[in-house]
Amino acid sequence: MARNVQPAGQPAPQNAMEALTPEDAAGQENFDRIIAKDSRVEPKDWMPEAYRRSLVRQISQHAHSEIIGMQPEANWITRAPSLKRKSILMAKVQDEAGHGLYLYSAAETLGTTRDEMMDALVAGKARYSSIFNYPTVTWADMGAIGWMVDGAAICNQVPLCRASYGPYGRAMVRVCKEESFHQRQGFEILLELANGTPAQRAMAQDAVNRWYAPSLMMFGPPDDDSPNSKQSMAWNIKRFSNDELRSRFVGMLAEQVKVLGLTLPDDEIRFNEDTKKWEHGPLDWEEFKEVLAGRGPCNAQRLERRRSAHADGAWVREAAAAYAAKQAAKQSSTNAQKAAA
Residues 59-88 that bind another protein (CB under 8 A): 67, 70-71, 74, 77-87
What's the residue count for the chain?
341
Residue 110 touching another protein (CB under 8 A): yes
Q: Among 25, 90, 120, 283, which residue sits at the site for another protein (rule: CB under 8 A)?
A: 90
Residue 125 touching another protein (CB under 8 A): no
Please, what is the Cα angle at 48 between 226 and 168, to 5 degrees?
70
Going by the DSSP 8-state scheme, the letter that residue 41 receives in this structure is B
How far are the Cα atoms of 50, 71, 159, 318 from residue 176, in angstroms, in the given order? 27, 20, 10, 34
**Angle between helical axes of 166-194 and 83-108 (0-180°, round to 10):** 160
Least distance (Å) from another protein to the CB of residue 63? 10
Of residues 264-323, those binding another protein (CB under 8 A): 305, 309, 312-323
Q: Among 54, 105, 226, 256, which residue sits at the site for another protein (rule: CB under 8 A)?
A: 105
Residue 28 touching another protein (CB under 8 A): no
Residues 127/130/134/140 CA torsion (nearest 10 deg): -120
Q: Among 166, 222, 251, 281, which residue sits at the site for another protein (rule: CB under 8 A)?
A: 166
Please, what is the Cα angle at 328 between 324 and 334, to 5 degrees?
145
Bridge partners, 278 (sequence order): 271
**Chain center to CA of 44:** 24
Q: Among 51, 139, 219, 235, which residue sits at the site for another protein (rule: CB under 8 A)?
A: 139
Residue 42 touching another protein (CB under 8 A): yes
User: 3-state class of 284 per DSSP?
Assistant: coil
Q: Among 19, 173, 254, 269, which residue sits at the site for another protein (rule: CB under 8 A)?
A: 173
User: 3-state class of 248 per DSSP?
Assistant: helix
Q: Where are the beta strands (DSSP E) in 94-150?
A: none
Size of the site for another protein (CB under 8 A): 85
Q: Among 23, 29, 32, 225, which residue sits at the site for another protein (rule: CB under 8 A)?
A: 23
Residue 49 touching another protein (CB under 8 A): no
Site string for another protein, 230-269 (x = CB under 8 A): ----------------------------------------
Of residues 189-208, those binding another protein (CB under 8 A): 189, 192-193, 195-197, 199-200
